[in-house]
Structure 1
Amino acid sequence: MPTDLTEGNFKLTIHKMTSTAGIVPDSMTLLSPVFELLKSFDGSFKKPVTLRFKIQAKLLGADRRAGMFYYDETNGKWIEVEGHAENDEFVATVHHFTKFAVFSVAKEAPPQVKPEKPLPPVVHFNDLKGHWAEVMIQETAAKGIVSGYDDGSFKPDQFITRAEFTVMLMRALAPEAADPNSGVSFTDSDKIGIWAQRYVSEAARLHVVSGYADGTFRPDEDVTRAEMTAMIIRASKISTDEGGPLSFSDANEIPDWAKGAAAAALRWGIAQGRTGNEFAPDGKATRAEATVMLMRMLQLNK
C-alpha cells in the first residue's frame, strides 16, 4: 500500500470468507479463497493498491488462465480486473475495496486487427440479450469495429484497456489508416500487444492519444471515462470550445484537461451521465460504454 492513500488515518480490515454460498456459482472454479477487504472511509483511494493472492496454479489446464475478480454487490456478479499471474501468485492493482477472488477462466483469443473475411450484417453475442447497449454493440460489430470472444460472448460490462479502446477508435475512424511505420513510440512499447501496436502508433501520430509524463503508454491500464471522452473528441476534430455548461452532478470533479471535451461530448450527444447524472471522470469505462460512444461519434460524423 503506497503512502498518502487518503487524508488522515484509516482502518483496514481483511476477512477470509469461510463460506461462499450465494456469491460463487457452481460454474466458477476458485483458485484462491474469497477475501473481503474493507476500509473505514468512503470513496476510492488516491493511488492504486496492489493485491497479491496465492493461487492453486496446478488446477489450471492448457486452455485455462487465472483471473482476479471483484464482487459487484449491486448486480450480484463477479467482474474481472486487470492483472497477471506470477508463478503461484496473482497480482493486480485496484482503487477500491470489496470482495476479491481469483478464478480459473477460459483463455480468450486476442482481438483481431482485421477480420479474415467480411463480418455478417448482424452479429449476435450470447450475453447481450436485454442489455441496454445490445443494438449498438451488434451494429458496431457488423462494421468490424468491435469483436467478441471465442465463446460467443461480448462481455459488455467488462472494463476496457487503453490499448483495446485505441484499436476500436482507430478502426472506427478508418481501418485502412493504421500506419505501421508512423515512427511514434513509448518507453513501454514492448508491452503493447502486436495486435495493437500499429493502431496505438498511428493514434499517437495523429495526437488522438498521448502518453504519461514518464513516456509510457500503459496499454493494459483500464481507460477512464475522462480519457475516453477526450480521445473521441480529438479524433472527431470537434473543438473543445463548442461545448456548453457542464450539467453533470459531479462536474466539479472533472479535471481541467478534460472539461472542454466533456462539455463538447455532452452538447453533441456523444457522452451521457451514469446513474445520478454523474460523468464519473475517473470511473473505468466498460466495453459497452466505449462501443456506444464510438457509435454516436460515427452517427455524428455522417
Structure 2
Amino acid sequence: MKSLRSLTKLAAVLSAILLLVTLVIPASPAHADELTGRTLEKELREMISKDILSGYTDGTYRPTENVSRGQFAAFIARALKLPEANGSFNDVPNTSKLAKDIYRVQKAGLMNGYSGGIFKPDAPITREQVSITMTNVLNYSGMVLQETRINFTDLNEFQSSGSVRSAYYNIRYGIISGIPNKDGSMRFEPKSNTTREQAAAFISRYLKAAAAYEPPDLPEIPDTPEQPTPPEDPIKPEPPAPQPPTVQSDYYLAALENGKLKKQATGYSDYLKAAELFNSSSKYTAMYRGDELIRVRRGMAFGDKLSKAKVKENTIIYFDPEFKKQATYVQHGRELKYLGSTDKFVKVQVGATEGYAKHSEVDLIPIELVTDRDHYTVSQWGTLTHHTYNYVDKKSASYYVQLAPDFLKNNGTYHSPDGVHFYETNGKFVGTFLPYFQFLSARSKTSYTGAELDALIMNVLKEREQKYAGRYTDASKKSKLIGLGSSFKKLEDDYHVNALMILSLAVHEGDYGMSETAQTCNNLFGLYKYDSLTKLCPDKGTFKSPGDSAVALVKDFLNPNYMDPTNALGRAQGAAFGNKTTGFNVNYASDPTWGAKAGAHMYELDKAAGGKDYGRYKQFALTNLEIPTNIRTAPSTNASILFTYKARYNGVYKDTSSGLALGYPLTVISSVKGDDGMTWYEVFSDKAGTGTGYIREDVVTIINN
C-alpha cells in the first residue's frame, strides 16, 4: 500500500497536469483563437453566432481564405432566410452541401449561373462580383439605390460602369469600403478575391443597414419630354395620382355563394386585420374596399383605367410598388396575370415582366368566375392559334402564330403569359419556344426582291377580295399597299430595316392598306394616331403618299427610338417585334400581343411568297442582363465596342433553370472561336449602318430554332 505522503505527491502531480490542460485547451469552440485579434473579429463572431458563417470539419474558420461563389451564396441565403428552391446547374449536384443555398439565391435573382448551365461554385468570388451581388440584395430588400461616389484610382479595372455604380451603392450603405493608398487616395481592387472574413463583414454591415433603413424622401421623377411621339400611345404616363384615402370600416371579406361573390356583413377599418382573417380561412374568396374588389385568392387581373371623362385608357405597369418607375403599359380590358395584392397595389405579370399596378387602373376576377380568357390551341394540322379575350368588351379574337413546337400537342389547350413559356391548363410547365418572325432581328434582310414583294402584295390582296367580300371589295385596286414592295426594299437598303417586316407592319396597322386611316390619310402604320384623338387625320399623321408614311416609320420611329441601343429615352429594348418584356412591343404598343400579331402576319406573308425567309437563321440569342453587355467589331475582347446593351430587368424567368430570361434578342449568323478560346457569335447589329457584330458565349443564351 502506498503511503499517504506518496498519494499526496501523486495528487499534486495530477493537479498540475490538469491545470496545464486547462491552460492549453480553450473553453471556446475549437480553433476560435484564429479569430482573436483580427480587425474583423467582431463581424466574424457575429456571423458565426447567427449560423451564417460555419466552420470546416476540422473546427477551423479560416478567415483569410478566399470565399467561393458557392460559399458566398450560402452566406446570403442564410442571412436573408430565403425560401427553399430547386435548380439544375450541371456542376451543382443535389448531393452537394451547398446546393440548396445556391438554388435559393438563384431563385431570388441574387446570383446567376454561366452559359452552359453551370454555376462555378468553387470559383473564388471577386470584390466586384460581391458588390454586384450585394446590390441585388439591396434591391431584393426594397432599399433605394443611392450613390456615394469615391474617385477610386483603379476605376479602369472595373468590368463596366454598372459595376462601378454597384460599388457606390454599397459604399452609401457602409457595406463595402475602399482601400487606402499611401498617398491618401482610395482604391477598390475589383478583381481581388474576397476573403471569408471580408464576406462576413459585408453581410454583417448589410444586416445593420437593413435594420436601420428608412425610405428616403425622393423627389418626384419628371416625365421625359417626347421626341418624337410614339406611334400608338405616349410612352410616359401622367404623374401618379395619390390613392384615395381609405374610409373607416371599409374592408369586407367575401365568399362565393351560388356563383356570385357575397360580402360579409362585418367590415374592418384595419386592412391588416382583414388580411389576417382572409389568410387564415380558405372559405373567403375575395376582399373588398367598399365596393372595389382589391384582392382575390386566385384569379385574373385586367386593365380597366378610365379618364375623368370615362374614356378608356391604358393601364401603366410599374417596376416598384410606389409607382415611380414605369415598366410598360397595357391596353384597356387586356389580361394580366394576377400575382397578388395589398391595399396599396396589385402585383401582376404582363409578358414576362413582373410589376405593380394601381387599384384604380385594374379590376380583378376570382378564377371561379372566369368564363373566358387568353389561351392557345393546336389544330389537327399542327398550327398554333392564339385566342385573345377582352375582359371589358367581352369580345374574343384569334390569329395563327405559326407551326406549333413539338411539345404542344394537337387539340391541346395551353396558357402563356408571354407567348414564349407555355403551361397546360392545370398550370404544369411544358416548354418554351420563340416564334421565329416575332424574334427575328429587324436588321436582317428579306430574301425577296422588290418585284417579288410587289407580286406578293397583289396576290394577297386578290385572295382577300375572294375570301372576305365586302370589307376588301376591290382591294387589288384600292389598297394603299399597291406598288410599295420595291419602296420597302429600298428602305431596307437605306435604313437597314427588313422590308418584309415593314410590309407586315403595314398589313397589321393599316389592314392591308384598306383601313380608313390608310385610305384617307395615307398613313399605313397609324403613326401619331393616339387612342384619345378624335380627328381622323391629325396634321403629323397625314402624308402626301403612303410611301412617305413608310419612310417616317423607319426614319423617325423605329431607327432612332426603338432600335438604336444608345437611345437615351430607354425605349429601345431590342430590334425585334418581341413582347411586353423585350423588343419593340415593350414601348411601341399597348396591345400586349402586338409583337406576336406582327410576327404572325410576317409568317403568313412569307408562306404566301414561297417560305424563303422562315427558318433561314438557325439560332437566336438572348443577352444576359446582370451587367452591361458589349457587342464588338470582331471576336475578341481587344476589338472595338460597337455598342453596349444596358443592364435591365429581363423578366420573371431570370432564373434560367425555370425558363428563358428575356434579354435583348439577337439573330445569330455564325459562330467562331475567339483569341480567348471562347465561342463568339456573329449577330446582326442593332445599331444602324454597322452591319454585324460579335458577342461572347458567356453573356448570351443560345436558342436553336
TM-score (norm 1): 0.54
Look up the match of 1:113. none
Percentage of matched positions with identical amino acids = 25
Decide whether the 8 Å contact of 2:30 with 2:60 is kept in 1.
Answer: no
| 1:160 corresponds to which of 40, 61, 67 | 67
Corresponding position: 1:217 with 2:217: no
SS at match of 1:194: coil
What does the per-residue CA deviation read over 1:146-165, in whole Å, with 9 as the maximum and x for residues that have no partner? 12234443211100100011
| 1:278 corresponds to which of 187, 192, 204 | 187
- Write the distance in 1 (CA, Å) between the matches of 2:135 and 2:34: 30
1:173, CA displacement in angstroms?
0.6
| 2:80 corresponds to which of 166, 173, 179 | 173
- Write the distance in 1 (CA, Å) between the matches of 2:67 and 2:138: 20
Which structure would you say has the larger RCO, counting Cα contacts within 8 Å and 6 or more residues apart?
1
| 1:288 corresponds to which of 190, 197, 200 | 197
Look up the match of 1:143. 50
- Write the distance in 1 (CA, Å) between the matches of 2:206 and 2:101: 18
Change (3 A) 1:298 1:186: same
What does the per-residue CA deviation read over 1:189-247, in whole Å, with 9 as the maximum and x for residues that have no partner? 33x76221111111111110011233321001001111111112211226685113243
Corresponding position: 1:247 with 2:151: yes
Decide whether the 8 Å contact of 1:166 with 1:203 is kept in 2.
Answer: yes
Decide whether the 8 Å contact of 1:159 with 1:285 is kept in 2.
Answer: yes
SS at match of 2:98: helix
Supply the RMSD in Å over aligned alpha carbons. 2.5
Name the amino acid aligned to 1:289: Q
Name the amino acid aligned to 1:202: R
Higher Cα Rg: structure 1 or 2?
2
Decide whether the 8 Å contact of 2:138 with 2:144 is kept in 1.
Answer: no
Change (3 A) 1:240 1:284: farther
Change (3 A) 1:185 1:274: farther
Q: How does 1:175-214 map to 2 (within 5 A)?
A: 177-179=82-84, 182-190=85-93, 194-214=96-116
Name the amino acid aligned to 1:244: T
- Write the distance in 1 (CA, Å) between the matches of 2:43 and 2:131: 18
Look up the match of 1:300. 209
- Write the distance in 2 (CA, Å) between the matches of 1:163 and 1:173: 16
Corresponding position: 1:234 with 2:97: no
Change (3 A) 1:131 1:150: same
Decide whether the 8 Å contact of 2:66 with 2:194 is kept in 1.
Answer: yes
| 2:165 corresponds to which of 247, 260, 279 | 260
Name the amino acid aligned to 2:80: L
Instruction: Give the total of aligned pairs.
Output: 178
- Write the distance in 2 (CA, Å) between the matches of 1:230 and 1:144: 24
Name the amino acid aligned to 2:208: Q
SS at match of 1:252: helix
1:188, CA displacement in angstroms?
2.3
- Write the distance in 2 (CA, Å) between the matches of 1:251 and 1:197: 34
- Write the distance in 1 (CA, Å) between the matches of 2:89 and 2:132: 20
- Write the distance in 2 (CA, Å) between the matches of 1:286 and 1:221: 12
Q: 5+ residue gaps in structure 2?
A: 1-27, 212-705
SS at match of 1:289: helix
- Write the distance in 1 (CA, Å) between the matches of 2:58 and 2:180: 30
| 2:34 corresponds to which of 127, 136, 148 | 127
1:134, CA displacement in angstroms?
0.6
1:251, CA displacement in angstroms?
2.0
Name the amino acid aligned to 1:263: Y
- Write the distance in 1 (CA, Å) between the matches of 2:164 and 2:42: 29
- Runs of 4 or more above 4 Å deviation: 121-124, 238-241
- Write the distance in 2 (CA, Å) between the matches of 1:202 and 1:214: 20
- Write the distance in 1 (CA, Å) between the matches of 2:115 and 2:165: 21
Decide whether the 8 Å contact of 1:224 with 1:283 is kept in 2.
Answer: yes
Decide whether the 8 Å contact of 2:70 with 2:122 is kept in 1.
Answer: yes
What does the per-residue CA deviation read over 1:9-30, in whole Å, with 9 as the maximum and x for residues that have no partner? xxxxxxxxxxxxxxxxxxxxxx
SS at match of 1:189: coil
TM-score (norm 2): 0.24
- Write the distance in 1 (CA, Å) between the matches of 2:95 and 2:150: 37
